[in-house]
Amino acid sequence: MSNSAEQPEVSVIVPARNEEAGLAECLRSLVGQPGPSYEIIVVDDHSTDSTREIAQGFPVTTITAGPLPDGWIGKCNALWGGANVARGKWLLFTDADTRHSRESVAQGLREAKATGAAMLSYSPKQEVHSFAERALMPVIFAELATAYKPRDVNDPDSPAAAANGQYLLVRRDAYFAVGGHAAVAQCILEDVELARLVKRAGFKLQFRLSEVVSARMYRSFSQMWEGWTKNLALLLTFVAILVAIADHDRVGIAINGLLTATFLGLFFRRIRRAHFDWLSNALAIGGLPLFAILLRNSYISHKKGSVRWKGRLYGSAVSGARLPSSPGHPKPPEHSPSITVPMMADRQSKN
Compute the Cα dihedral for 116, 235, 73, 133 and give only its sign. Answer: negative
Tens of pLDDT along 75-104?
Answer: 999 999 999 999 999 999 999 999 999 999
Look at residue 282 in the predicted model and tell me its pLDDT. Answer: 64
Q: Is the pLDDT of residue 149 over 70?
A: yes
Tens of pLDDT along 156-203?
Answer: 999 999 999 999 999 999 999 999 999 999 888 899 999 999 999 999
Beta strand 119-126 pairing with 61-64 = unpaired
Flag whether 85 is in a domain.
yes
In this structure, the answer to whether residues 80 and 167 fall within a common structural domain is yes
In this structure, the answer to whether residues 16 and 63 fall within a common structural domain is yes
The CATH number that applies at residue 115 is: 3.90.550.10
Percentage of residues of the chain with pLDDT beyond 90:
49
205-220 average pLDDT score: 88
Flag whether 345 is in a domain.
no
Beta strand 10-16 pairing with 90-94 = parallel
Look at residue 319 in the predicted model and tell me its pLDDT. Answer: 36
CA dist list (Å): 24 to 42, 92, 219, 234, 262: 11, 18, 15, 31, 43
Q: Is the pLDDT of residue 9 over 50?
A: yes
In this structure, the answer to whether residues 171 and 309 fall within a common structural domain is no
Look at residue 350 in the predicted model and tell me its pLDDT. Answer: 36
Tell me the CA end-to-end span of the chain in Å, nearest whole number: 8
Flag whether 184 is in a domain.
yes
Tens of pLDDT along 288-343?
Answer: 777 777 777 777 777 776 777 566 666 654 334 443 333 334 455 555 555 554 43
pTM score, two decimals? 0.75
Q: Is the pLDDT of residue 72 over 50?
A: yes
The total number of structural domains in the chain stands at 2
Tens of pLDDT along 47-67?
Answer: 999 999 999 999 999 999 999
In this structure, the answer to whether residues 209 and 234 fall within a common structural domain is no
Of the candidate ranges 23-27, 43-47, 271-275, 299-303, the one whose mean pLDDT is the lowest: 271-275
In this structure, the answer to whether residues 121 and 158 fall within a common structural domain is yes
Flag whether 319 is in a domain.
no
**Range(s) of the domain holding residue 119:** 10-127+148-219+326-340
In this structure, the answer to whether residues 152 and 85 fall within a common structural domain is yes
Flag whether 192 is in a domain.
yes
Look at residue 223 in the predicted model and tell me its pLDDT. Answer: 76
Q: How far apart are CA 146 and CA 159, in angstroms?
A: 16
In this structure, the answer to whether residues 119 and 33 fall within a common structural domain is yes
At residue 226 the predicted structure's pLDDT band, cuts being 50, 70 and 90, is confident
In this structure, the answer to whether residues 85 and 38 fall within a common structural domain is yes
In this structure, the answer to whether residues 207 and 277 fall within a common structural domain is no
Look at residue 219 in the predicted model and tell me its pLDDT. Answer: 73
Look at residue 345 in the predicted model and tell me its pLDDT. Answer: 31
Percentage of residues of the chain with pLDDT beyond 70:
68
In this structure, the answer to whether residues 214 and 263 fall within a common structural domain is no
In this structure, the answer to whether residues 170 and 293 fall within a common structural domain is no
In this structure, the answer to whether residues 86 and 229 fall within a common structural domain is no
Flag whether 138 is in a domain.
no
Look at residue 273 in the predicted model and tell me its pLDDT. Answer: 60
Flag whether 139 is in a domain.
no
| CB of 111 closer than 8 Å to CB of 119 | no
